[in-house]
Amino acid sequence: MSKISRSQPASWATVSTTINPTPEIHAFADFHLAAGASHVFIYLDRPDHDFPGERGPDPRVTVVRCDDAYWAATTWKTRPERFQHRQDQNATDAYRRCRQGWLAHIDIDEFLFSEEPLCRLLGDVPEDELSVRAEPWELLLPIDPRTPVTYFRGRVGMTEQRRGLHHRAFPKFWNDVPSGFLSHIDGKVIVRTGVPDLIFGVHRARMNGSEKLKPRQMRKLMLAHCPNRDRETFASKAKYRMYHGAYRPFGDERKQRIFDMLERQLDLHGEDGMRAVFDEFTTTPGVRQLDA
């Protein structure tokens, strides 16, 4: 393996490609800068996006507008059709720019929580280990919006499935979504900078063309994922996400089962079917059933 050149090993940054509204991008950047990130890279998938808006520029936040000129300067030459390919390109571009010791590739609706400062956790990683993985936890919304607590839950593992806990937590759709996660179950990786020829994907990174990095699982680190924050938005956007966004299966068996379930609900019940899916997986009764 080539010798790895690195700057400050315990410093870290984030990179995201986004079309999210400006307030959400600011909330994401503010959270991670307060959590210890030295820098935040924001790639605006719509070059006419108004971010950073009235707040103006921040030297700790690099903003890249992904316009025709940007794409012409990449190996793609033109804007890739798939959003994931645009994410890969932008994260790899940020990786080459990054002057911090580590870079996390996460979305605007994802937040890194750790039991102790992340810079300390990363500083303890052996020098020959090049990446770490944050396990995903999904947002749960309380029935009473006045509840002053934010809940997240982990996925239902194989041991819990064998005990039948997913039957109790998700009685309507457990057979289609045994993990309880509508979104990804892979988590996200944080990669040590300075690795030559690294390609930084959405859930993993590879070097030397095809060799995938094997990330260390960090049990003190959590990826808090907030993909579905309200019932009506989920119901109205589900069809678009199925055919153009996060719920497209792309040959993945787990995603195909979720897609088929959503399509069935949409065909039979329309947006009310999507509301039923939201209630099953994103509100807190399931937590109480698992604890019972």
Distance CA 211, CA 39 (A): 28
Distance CA 92, CA 207 (A): 11
- Return the pLDDT at 168: 75
Identify the residue whose tokens are 């990683």.
Answer: 125
- Return the pLDDT at 277: 92
Cα→Cα distances 289→134, 161, 165, Å: 26, 14, 9
DSSP code at position 144: S
Beta bridge partners of 61: 40
Distance CA 76, CA 123 (A): 35
Cα→Cα distances 199→112, 169, 189, 214, 231, Å: 22, 38, 12, 14, 36
- Return the pLDDT at 292: 42
The residue among 204, 17, 12, 247 whose CA lies nearest residue 112 is: 12
CB under 8 Å to 54, separation ≥6 — which residues? Answer: none
- Whether residue 108 is predicted with pLDDT greater than 70 in this model: the reply is yes
Q: Which two tokens stand for residue 60?
A: 């700790």
Q: Which is higher by pLDDT, 3 or 266?
A: 266
Please give the CATH topology (third level) of the domain spanning 8-140+182-225.
Spore Coat Polysaccharide Biosynthesis Protein SpsA; Chain A (3.90.550)
Q: Do 183 and 175 form a contact (C-beta atoms < 8 A)?
A: no
The pair phi, psi for residue 11, each rounded to 5°, is: -85, 155
List, for residues 173-222, the tens digit of each pLDDT value. 888 988 888 888 889 999 999 999 999 999 999 987 778 899 999 889 99
- Whether residue 288 is predicted with pLDDT greater than 70 in this model: the reply is no
Q: Specify the pTM.
A: 0.88
- Return the pLDDT at 118: 96
